[in-house]
């Protein structure tokens, strides 16, 4: 996924905008302490499953139309990707009710979180911040990142591109704000690339 590393397995992790994905289940089974937040977690298992079923054909067609925007290396083609995504969603749905009961899936959303200061070692945003730059402005990105920095000692964001595979229009302003407010940051290379050019992770800490 580009964000989790072996040295993170003993950290307390917050995933922001994790959605209907299997990352929480996989890491939890490895013994990692991970909490995922997303607005979709306000819905029941049945409601999420129905939404997945209703949108799967549209998403599949979009992937076929935009196949040139991706690197077909580890995943060979659109059909394999669709199969993998549906399997990941099935894994999520199998884990969802137990995960909610355990507090691993929580209905919260940026830029306001109901956690204590520095409650987590690491907070990440995977395929949300920067990716949806046309939907969320700079002010939202700033508030969201500051809130993640409030609740976690370190923040990671991936990718730094928008949906058009271009560097986010908000990235330079975010980096300038961090510099002016005494936050440290580093752009590091990820060993994961599926969206073309999406190989960088923004790492931030105080």
Q: Over the stretch 23-39, which tens digit does the pLDDT of each residue have?
A: 999 999 999 999 999 99
59, pLDDT greater than 80: no
Global pTM value: 0.91
Whole-angstrom Cα distance, residue 206 to residue 204?
7
Whether the Cβ atoms of residue 120 and residue 151 lie closer than 8 Å to each other:
yes
Phi, psi of 126 (to 5 degrees): -110, 115
Q: In this predicted model, what pLDDT tens digit does every residue of 90-105 receive, in sequence order? A: 999 999 999 999 999 9
CA distance linking residue 65 with residue 48, whole number of Å: 25
The DSSP letter of residue 80 is H
């Amino acid at each position: 996924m580009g964000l989790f590393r072996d040295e993170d397995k003993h950290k307390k992790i917050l995933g922001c905008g994790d959605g209907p994905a299997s990352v929480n289940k996989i890491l939890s089974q490895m013994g990692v302490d991970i909490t995922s937040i997303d607005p979709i977690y306000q819905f029941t298992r049945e409601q999420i499953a129905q939404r997945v079923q209703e949108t799967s054909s549209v998403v599949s067609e979009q992937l076929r139309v935009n196949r040139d925007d991706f690197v077909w290396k580890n995943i060979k083609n659109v059909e394999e990707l669709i199969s993998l995504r549906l399997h990941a969603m099935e894994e999520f749905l199998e884990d969802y009710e137990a995960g909610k009961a355990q507090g691993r899936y929580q209905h919260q959303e940026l830029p306001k979180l109901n956690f204590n200061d520095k409650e987590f070692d690491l907070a990440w945003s995977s395929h949300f911040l920067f990716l949806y730059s046309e939907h969320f402005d700079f002010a939202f990105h700033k508030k969201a990142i500051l809130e993640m920095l409030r609740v976690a000692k370190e923040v990671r964001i991936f990718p730094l591109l928008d949906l058009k595979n271009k560097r986010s229009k908000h990235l330079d302003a975010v980096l300038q704000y961090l510099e002016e407010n005494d936050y440290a940051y580093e752009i590091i290379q990820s060993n994961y690339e599926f969206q073309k050019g999406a190989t960088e992770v923004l790492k931030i800490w105080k």
